[in-house]
Amino acid sequence: MSELSDFKLQWINCTRCALANEGRSKVIFSDGPEDARVMIVGESPGAVEDQQGIPFSGPAGKLLNELLIEAGFKRSDFYITNSVHCKPLNNHKPSVVELRACKTMLDKEIECVRPNVILLLGAVASLQVCGISSSMSSTRGLWMEYKGVPAISTYHPAAVLHTRDLDPAKSKMYRDHIVQDLKTVKEKLISVTPQNGDTSF
């Protein structure tokens, strides 16, 4: 058993924050290989993820899969996780206290996966990992760093879905930016030496 799997076992019934009492059916850890060169960090599991036990397995996840392919990736290239690992009631934004409580888990994931790049989906992930509270429009596509690992933020695929009917132009802009930022990740991967020996990109 890997160090990360062992660590997750210790969190399987976690009650470190209030999200443990908001109707979650389980703690949702991650999807993808532990030696992935890119770690994707989203916001939180939703209802589908809570049922299936896999992050990004709902509508936003399906869109993410499409966008990854459009940018020349496949989902299995990525280790995918979230800023918090339990489903918030009514999909509310995790509080600072909840984010802080779950950061230990995320830090352990980063320490064990040792990605070459961290891709942050949405403002909550940017806050959780890099402490950035500025708007996505001003920070997306810019390189930051977390514990020596290059990190870049882009819009959460849910932003594309939420604006699709109300404002199709904005929805398309979000979509285009995500694909563009994924391509930036790809360029970065080509330029950095793999930490885990994987040169498949």
Q: Which of 7, 20, 33, 196 binds ligand SF4 (CB under 6 A)?
A: 20
85 binds ligand SF4 (CB under 6 A): yes
Q: In whole angstroms, give the CA distance from residue 117 to residue 191.
A: 11
Q: Looking at 60, 63, 101, 178, which residue binds ligand SF4 (CB under 6 A)?
A: 101
Kindly provide the b/e burial profile for residues 9-45, where b requires at least 16 CB atoms within 10 angstroms of the residue's own CB.
eebeebeebebeeeebebbbbbbbeebbbbbbbbbbb
Helix count and strand count (H, E) for the chain: 8, 5
Considering beta carbons, is residue 19 or 136 the nearer one to ligand SF4? 19
d(C-alpha 37, C-alpha 201), whole Å: 9
Stretch that binds ligand SF4, among 101-109, 119-127, 129-137, 151-159 (CB under 6 A): 101-109
Stretch that binds ligand SF4, among 14-22, 114-122, 142-150, 169-177 (CB under 6 A): 14-22
CA-nearest of 152, 100, 103 to 126 is: 152
Contact in structure between 121 and 155 (CB atoms under 8 Å) = yes
**Residue (17 or 151) nearer to ligand SF4, CB:** 17
Query: Minimum distance between the CB of residue 27 and ligand SF4, rounded to whole angstroms?
Result: 5
Residues contributing to the site for ligand SF4 (CB under 6 A): 11, 14-17, 19-20, 27, 84-86, 98, 101-102, 105
